[in-house]
Amino acid sequence: MSDVFRIGDLARLTDTKVVTIRYYESIGLMPVPERSASNYRVYGKAQLDRLRFIRRCRDLGFSLEQIAELAALSSDSRQPCGEVDALTRTHLAEVEAKIADLNALAAELRRIGAQCHGSTTISNCRIIEALDHRP
């Protein structure tokens, strides 16, 4: 296990597409790496960790903007940790709101879907009727 990586190594190790890593670099989320003689990007362990952090946060549904903030906060160990806590809480609230929305939506889709028993053509299909008029 060397501690020098090329972009494809990082991609494999973090389950990220190569183009996505370059994209992260272009928006300033990943640092601009050194280049080899043949102009290949060269990364070290620190950048691998950075990318792992980013992907982990993505998996948790944070936006890239939130991740940039989290990364900035986490890099200074003397920063108060309240902001990280607040960011996490805010995000959780957003996720919970979205869950509530989707639950309401699923309920209505089930209600609508249940009405199509037996009918075989659009003319007597209750789904279309349900879609046509507000509940």
Among 9, 34, 65, 96, binds its own copies (CB under 8 A): 96
Choose from its own copies, DNA, none: what does 65 bind? Cβ within 5-8 Å by kind.
DNA
Among 40, 56, 72, 79, binds DNA (CB under 7 A): 40
Q: How far is CA 102 from the centre of its chain?
A: 18
Closer to its own copies at the Cβ: 9 or 83? 83
Beta-carbon contacts of residue 130 (< 8 Å; ≥ 6 apart): 111, 112, 115
| 2 contacts DNA (rule: CB under 7 A) | no
Among 1, 3, 15, 132, binds its own copies (CB under 8 A): 132
How many other CB atoms are there within 10 angstroms of residue 15's CB atom? Answer: 9
Whole-angstrom distance, CA of residue 75 vs CA of residue 25:
18
- Which residue type does 9 have? D
| 39 contacts DNA (rule: CB under 7 A) | yes
| 76 contacts its own copies (rule: CB under 8 A) | yes
Q: Specify whether the CB–CB gap between 74 and 61 falls below 8 A.
A: no
The tally of CA atoms less than 13 A away on the side-chain side of residue 95 is 11
Closer to its own copies at the Cβ: 18 or 71? 71
The tally of CA atoms less than 13 A away on the side-chain side of residue 107 is 7
Whole-angstrom distance, CA of residue 83 vs CA of residue 85:
5
* Contacts to its own copies by CB under 8 A: 49, 52-53, 56-57, 60-61, 70, 73-74, 76-82, 84-85, 88-89, 91-92, 95-96, 98-99, 102-103, 105-106, 108-110, 112-113, 116, 119-125, 127-128, 131-134
* Contacts to DNA by CB under 7 A: 6-9, 11, 17-20, 22-23, 36-41, 58, 63-65
